[in-house]
Amino acid sequence: MPYVLGIDIGGTSTTAAVSRLHANGWGEPEVVRLGDRGNAVPSALHMGGDGTLTVGEPARPDATRLARGFSRRIGDDVPLLVGNEPCTPQALTAVLAMWVVERVLASEGEVAEQVVISHPAGWGKYRRELLHRALWEIGLANVTLLPEPVLAAERHAARGVLGGTLCVYSLGGNGYEASVVGWADPVGFRLLGSTAPVDRFGGDDIDDALAALVRGKLGRELRELDGPQVRLALYGLRRECTRAKERLSVEPETDVPVHLPRGHLRVPVTRSELEGAIRPAVRHTVDTLVRTIHAAGVDAGQVDAVVLAGGAVRMPLVAELIATELPVPVVVDADPQSTAAAGAALAAAQILAPPVTEYQDPVWTAEPPALRMSNPEPSSYVNEGEMGAAPPPRPPLSITPLKLPRMRSGQRIRGLVGGRP
């Protein structure tokens, strides 16, 4: 059955969704189960001793062979060292995208008619071209790149959220982004403005705050242990705190298991304790959202709804603080981590039928054009008209090119999706 594929490669997690073509049109997006235990997989690649790259993090990873957060570094001239090999962020992102395409191909039995991949709102043409070239070189030519907030808005509009102006509050694992999008008939949503905060804050920081609460409650038990025993006791604590954070999103209290040499403990924590620890940081993100609205030239009274996206927005505190500043509906998916991926699948279906949205990038089916070696990336608030401004030139760097390993079925996929033979 023909289908389209949407992919969201975030800083910490990657999700995907498909929409299938039925007799009466494209169906509702369905989230793809990429991981063994859930829909998402870590946005991480591990290089084995033989030079092959595998998706995810091993149980005991070698930090020198593990790459994380590379999709957010596209546009940085400095490569990442993975297993002593210099790898560009866009090449690593393309490998992860190819893995998702192959994973879906294995289950669907045929290649996607169209693929849409999300990107941060602040990206300009330079970063999109870097990723386009890397995708083309690995064999993925039938790909369109669209801003994540536009995709999140498309997802919620399809679910019945009405309005010409929406705010998108995205809180992922290692950062957040506030954006404003507006409806432009007939092309769909367009980005009106976006900003990235000065201070980094995301779901990982919430996990750290919860881990600090647990360590504080252990107190004497930890002080009575020596160095190696403390490390052993705290091994896996952060993973348990991640799970406890998810439970606290729906429950007022829970227990965090801690494994001590003398036995196992269950440390009780409450939602109010966690919210007290992170409230100032969440408040700062909401203030950033309000500033973004004003910087985009939109009056707060013109906002029709605030759309939440990203796994960390499950915390009730986020919607609570937004509601105190903006008296409009605050909407969130049951699985907000997959919101952008589902929106990307919807956009992919729309691209196959006119009208084509103004955000559609050219689909490369032949040798892509040479890249302009300037980086038009904004430093603060981003408006559509500012995305083409070039920054000061950077000093030239000499980077040894890395030939990344192909997936086993990569040659077959390259032929199917229109890449080089």
For residue 68, give the CATH number of its domain: 3.30.420.40
Tokens of 343: 């929106």
Task: Classify residue 165: in a domain, yes or no.
Answer: no
Task: Classify residue 289: in a domain, yes or no.
Answer: no
pLDDT exceeds cutoff 60 at 167: yes
Banded model confidence at residue 77, pLDDT cuts 50, 70, 90: confident
> Cis bond leading into 186, ω under 30°?
yes
SS3 252: coil
Task: Classify residue 191: in a domain, yes or no.
Answer: no
pLDDT exceeds cutoff 70 at 283: yes
pLDDT on residue 223: 64
Alpha-carbon span 109 to 101, nearest angstrom: 11
**Total structural domains within the chain:** 2
Task: Classify residue 129: in a domain, yes or no.
Answer: yes
Question: Do 136 and 210 fall within a single domain?
Answer: no
Task: Classify residue 375: in a domain, yes or no.
Answer: yes
Question: Do 149 and 213 fall within a single domain?
Answer: no
Task: Classify residue 322: in a domain, yes or no.
Answer: no
Question: Do 266 and 372 fall within a single domain?
Answer: no
Question: Do 155 and 212 fall within a single domain?
Answer: no
The two beta strands, 305-309 and 165-171, are: parallel
Q: Which of 259, 274, 289 is the last residue of a domain?
A: 274
pLDDT on residue 222: 67
pLDDT on residue 356: 41
By C-alpha distance, which of 181, 83, 85, 74 is closest to 129? 74
> Out of 53-62, 287-296, 318-327, 403-412, which region has the weakest mean confidence (pLDDT)?
403-412
> Out of 71-75, 80-84, 151-155, 186-190, which region has the weakest mean confidence (pLDDT)?
186-190
Question: Do 38 and 150 fall within a single domain?
Answer: yes
Question: Do 43 and 130 fall within a single domain?
Answer: yes
Domain that holds residue 220: 203-274
Q: Which of 274, 295, 329 is the last residue of a domain?
A: 274
Question: Do 55 and 141 fall within a single domain?
Answer: yes
Question: Do 102 and 28 fall within a single domain?
Answer: yes
Alpha-carbon span 164 to 418, nearest angstrom: 37
Q: What is the pLDDT of residues 240-261, one digit of tens each?
A: 898 999 999 999 999 999 877 6
pLDDT on residue 294: 94
Domain of 211, CATH number, reads: 3.90.640.10
Q: What is the pLDDT of residues 371-414, one digit of tens each?
A: 433 333 433 333 333 334 443 343 333 333 344 444 433 333 33
Task: Classify residue 88: in a domain, yes or no.
Answer: yes
This model's pTM is above 0.85? no
Question: Do 20 and 143 fall within a single domain?
Answer: yes
Helix (H) or strand (E) holding 169, with range, is strand 165-171
Q: Which of 227, 256, 274 is the last residue of a domain?
A: 274
Alpha-carbon span 368 to 361, nearest angstrom: 12
Question: Do 228 and 85 fall within a single domain?
Answer: no
pLDDT on residue 62: 78
Q: For 223-252, b where at least 16 C-beta lie within 10 A, e where not — what string?
A: eebeeeebeebbeebeebbbebbbebbeee
Question: Do 101 and 155 fall within a single domain?
Answer: yes
Task: Classify residue 281: in a domain, yes or no.
Answer: no
Tokens of 367: 């040798």
Question: Do 142 and 223 fall within a single domain?
Answer: no
Backbone angles phi, psi at 390, to 5 degrees: -90, 145
Alpha-carbon span 180 to 194, nearest angstrom: 6
